[in-house]
Structure 1
Amino acid sequence: MNDLLAGLRAAFGLIIHLDHNLVEISLRSLQVTISAVVIASIIGLPFGAWLAVTRFRYRRLTIAVLNALMGLPPVVVGLIVYVLLSRSGPFGVLDLLFTPTAMIIAQVIIITPIIASIGHQSMRELWYVYHDLMISFKTTKWQRMMVLLMDGRRSLLTAVLTGFGRGIGEIGAIMIVGGNIDHLTRVLTTAIALEVGKGDFPLALGLGIILISLAIIVNLAIHLLSRTEREGTW
């Protein structure tokens, strides 16, 4: 118990004094995950809206596959990205392996199905409400998608938040394609695993506290934004 309390005191000391390694790793984690979430949202949200307003032969199969991709094993994603970006792979000439870019690519592959699937479920419900009105106004498919994206923005925040939470806590794919290189690709999750292995529990606890705090802050921010919008609507 005493060791735990001492470790927590040391961890909070590192946070309060803005330890250089702690700040560097935290900022890199945010950079990688936020970049991946932005890219995944740009891809996933319009795709979810398109699925909501479009009817085609293999639509149900497409939705089923999309939902299944939400459970993609991160290690498998990391392995695939590693093979594609390795020197013998088709994109090896780009020399992206063991860089933050490779980590972002892996996270985008993991996050996009989550954002697209949750976003589609929300916009599908809206489409049931707006369907007759949109048809009567003879709107184009693009206009219908834009209306769903705008009117469903509160629920879409949940999809984006879920994607962020999935990305910030990722370790398997990140470790494979990033390599956990100090001052280059080391992020919160990989650093925690490394520091625990080294026995540096204060730094590991400090990183863990930041990781949990980020999740709480993002959830509170989304809650406040949603509440503000509801008050503005009413």
Structure 2
Amino acid sequence: MVQTLTDAILLLGALDREVLSIAALSLRVSLTAVGLACLVGLPLGALIAIGRFPGKQITITLLNAFMGLPAVVVGLVVYLLLSRSGPLGALGLLFTPRAMIIAQTILVTPLVAAFSRQIIEDADRELGEQLRSMRLSTWQRAKTLIFDTRFSLIVAVLAAFGRAVSEVGAVLVVGGNIVGFTRTMTTAISLETQKGDLPLALALGFVLIGIVIVVNVMASALRGHAMRAYG
């Protein structure tokens, strides 16, 4: 155990090229997926929060349920869509980073939408009447509330990033865990543990934990600065 830990620390200290390339790919895939999820999820959550339409409660229930989508099932669906016999097979996206981005985006979009819906719905209780008195359209009110709650919405973005960067099932199915091309930190940790290369697996685990901690610290600092600036 001590030797494994020592070897893992040496890999990190030497800035091992394999560790860095795997971490870089993981970040690129997860950050892109979270960015796309925010483009869809934030407006969707806002519109559901302030909209008045039949079946709203059912929509909210379904949205909350989709937060727990099984990763391997999402991976299987994306695989079937992108396989040669699937409707999108001609695009040649299967077993590429783009396929992993698609899978992760599908996974985290409901999470972003559900969190943002709750945050914006709470804000609408305070500001909704004022915004409606200004005769703003639903979309204008949604944009205003998104901007007003932008620092609180960091929670939604963080939750999405945490799930995306730690996800293994979907990216393994659609990415194939190809060395130097689609191998992410989570899939590499799984494979290297099975192979018995525990130092590499542990080094990647340290990097993964470090990334999550750094992102959360930066987000907390941003929120703290915003509260002091606007408080």
| TM-score tier after normalising by the smaller chain length | over 0.9
SS in 2 for 1:90: coil
**Corresponding residue for 2:128?**
131
- What does the per-residue CA deviation read over 1:152-200, in whole Å, with 9 as the maximum and x for residues that have no partner? 1111100000000000000001100000000110000000011111111
Equivalents in 2 of 1:149, 1:16: separation in Å?
42
Amino acid paired to 1:105: I
**Corresponding residue for 2:40?**
43
Equivalent residue for 2:221, pick from 214, 219, 224:
224
SS in 1 for 2:65: helix
1:214 and 2:211 are equivalent in the alignment: yes
**Corresponding residue for 1:80?**
77
TM-superposed CA distance for 1:52, in Å, is 1.4
**Corresponding residue for 1:233?**
230
TM-superposed CA distance for 1:136, in Å, is 1.2
Equivalents in 2 of 1:143, 1:83: separation in Å?
38
Equivalents in 2 of 1:45, 1:100: separation in Å?
24
Pairwise mapping of residues 67-216 of structure 1 onto structure 2 (< 5 A)? Answer: 67-216=64-213
Equivalents in 2 of 1:162, 1:34: separation in Å?
12
TM-superposed CA distance for 1:132, in Å, is 1.2
Amino acid paired to 2:144: V
Structure 1, unmatched stretches of 5+, are none
Equivalents in 2 of 1:132, 1:94: separation in Å?
48
- What does the per-residue CA deviation read over 1:204-231, in whole Å, with 9 as the maximum and x for residues that have no partner? 1000000111111111111100000000
SS in 1 for 2:151: helix
Equivalents in 2 of 1:190, 1:166: separation in Å?
14
Equivalents in 1 of 2:133, 2:31: separation in Å?
39
Identity %: 46
Q: How many residues align?
A: 231
Amino acid paired to 1:79: L
Equivalents in 1 of 2:162, 2:199: separation in Å?
24
Amino acid paired to 1:231: R
TM-superposed CA distance for 1:146, in Å, is 1.1
SS in 2 for 1:155: coil
SS in 2 for 1:67: helix
**Corresponding residue for 1:18?**
15
SS in 2 for 1:215: helix
TM-superposed CA distance for 1:7, in Å, is 1.1
Amino acid paired to 2:60: I
Equivalents in 2 of 1:171, 1:132: separation in Å?
44
Q: Deviating runs (4+, > 4 A) in structure 1?
A: none
Equivalent residue for 2:59, pick from 56, 59, 62:
62
